[in-house]
A and B are shown apart, each in its own frame.
Chain A
């Protein structure tokens, strides 16, 4: 690990302005992704700004009837919150399907959104990777790409975003709240927060340098049957090959977002009009233009089947 200086931030605005002022600075929250990457030289911050002491660890009601989730709320506490379990069970389910008990005790709302891909070539500093080193190429294209993207990928990068939580937040139409180094704040709909790789895969979201996530807000509860189905290589403690976050209303209408298939949580609102026609129709619209590799073509079928299983379960839950 490269040496770094360290400071504890006292207010969100001070953290953001310090991040913009000190070259090579990064925020550290739970540290479960950042330290992992620092140990292998993928991340080399010169300065760490510890944001654990910021007063951003509460879950509060909003004036609109939703909830504001502080950026430092631990994944365990978010999943266990009685309001989340009752009104946004999809979010609890997605969080609980991720990582391990130990990791969820540290992982934060903000850090989880910003965790980086698990592409094995991104982790291996001997391999070409446009995300780690822009312009160096992409070893996954033509390499082992079983875990990689089937939609929204580019000739530069076929990595997927690994977060389970973010997929649920996409289905729930969450909003990311931030503070910028100049002290100004903004609200970014989750749909616009993560970006597709294009020819700049090292850019993964719309945050400006030094911009700090302060909270994520959820709109008022939408009800319905809420399900998160994660398909992976072992029953627990593994990243998704494919995941399906689904909300089905009593009238059969609904929402669906996918994890494990793209550089961001994948939702195509137009596909949701196909709910009455069933899984095949929904999956076809969702994955229109999919370009899987030989190694991950199975994900196209897996998406359809996981949607079918989710629809069937929702029907059963209603009955």
Chain B
């Protein structure tokens, strides 16, 4: 089943290696296997129903659509940002069934029945979520691109601590998880800010958490 686990090759894989090395092609069975398999596949669509920011959504999507692309391109909720698209930056962070995740590394079709909260669902310009208000007050951004992900992450971080989920910097694993500045920094490490607004982000979260930054 796993193409990486046996000696099967698609034509694309052979093309992919391109100029690598002609002698490498002298692998037994390679050419025969190549001729036998020609993988031009057509797109496949599937239906998915989920709830986004309290609204029911029914979509018919290419199975390849990530949750991030479904939110941005199909539901036009462009608050959630695409940064690296590989789970390395955190700009795409949204809250699914109460947990923060990278929406770029999950498929929309895997979220049948899920409840998704994006930055648009946390608050509105007229009724800001306390975390949104705190980011504005403390200037927790510069260009603003990472901000929706930072805010969704921050909201979920405080819930994770309340739910007694420990972190890498938690001293005593058998004690209840606590909110303090070191904990906040470690737990926010999955959200990168290239402008370097970290100290202000930290102050905003600390204020909402009711601790000193």
A interface vs B, CB < 8 Å?
Answer: 1-6, 8, 19-20, 22-26, 28, 30-32, 35-36, 39, 41, 43-46, 48, 50, 52, 76, 79-80, 85-86, 89, 92-93, 96-97, 99-103, 105-106, 116, 125-128, 131-137, 202-204, 207, 209-210, 235-237
**CB-based contact A3/B63 at 8 Å:** yes
Closest A residue to B19 by CB, please name it. Answer: A126
Distance in angstroms between the alpha carbons of A97 and B189 in the assembled complex: 11
Distance in angstroms between the alpha carbons of A237 and B192 in the assembled complex: 10
Q: How close is A183's CB to chain B, nearest CB, in angstroms? A: 16
- In the complex, chain A residues whose CB is within 8 Å of the CB of B54: none
- In the complex, chain B residues whose CB is within 8 Å of the CB of A99: 190
Distance in angstroms between the alpha carbons of A12 and B87 in the assembled complex: 28
Please report whether the interface of chain B is mostly helix, strand, loop or mixed according to DSSP: loop
Binding stretch for chain A, among B104-112, B140-148, B199-207: B104-112
- In the complex, chain A residues whose CB is within 8 Å of the CB of B93: 102
**CB-based contact B186/A236 at 8 Å:** yes
Distance in angstroms between the alpha carbons of A9 and B107 in the assembled complex: 16
**CB-based contact B10/A44 at 8 Å:** yes
**CB-based contact B189/A102 at 8 Å:** no
B interface vs A, CB < 8 Å?
Answer: 1-7, 9-10, 12-13, 16-18, 20-21, 24-27, 30, 39, 41-44, 46, 62-64, 66, 85-87, 90, 93, 99-102, 105-107, 109-110, 112, 153, 156-157, 160, 163-168, 170, 173-174, 186-187, 189-191
Known A-B contacts A35-B106, A79-B166, A128-B20; A86 and B174 likewise in contact (beta carbons under 8 Å): yes
Most A CB atoms within 10 A — which of B9, B173, B189? B173
- In the complex, chain A residues whose CB is within 8 Å of the CB of B173: 85-86, 89, 92-93
Please report whether the interface of chain A is mostly helix, strand, loop or mixed according to DSSP: loop
**CB-based contact B110/A28 at 8 Å:** yes
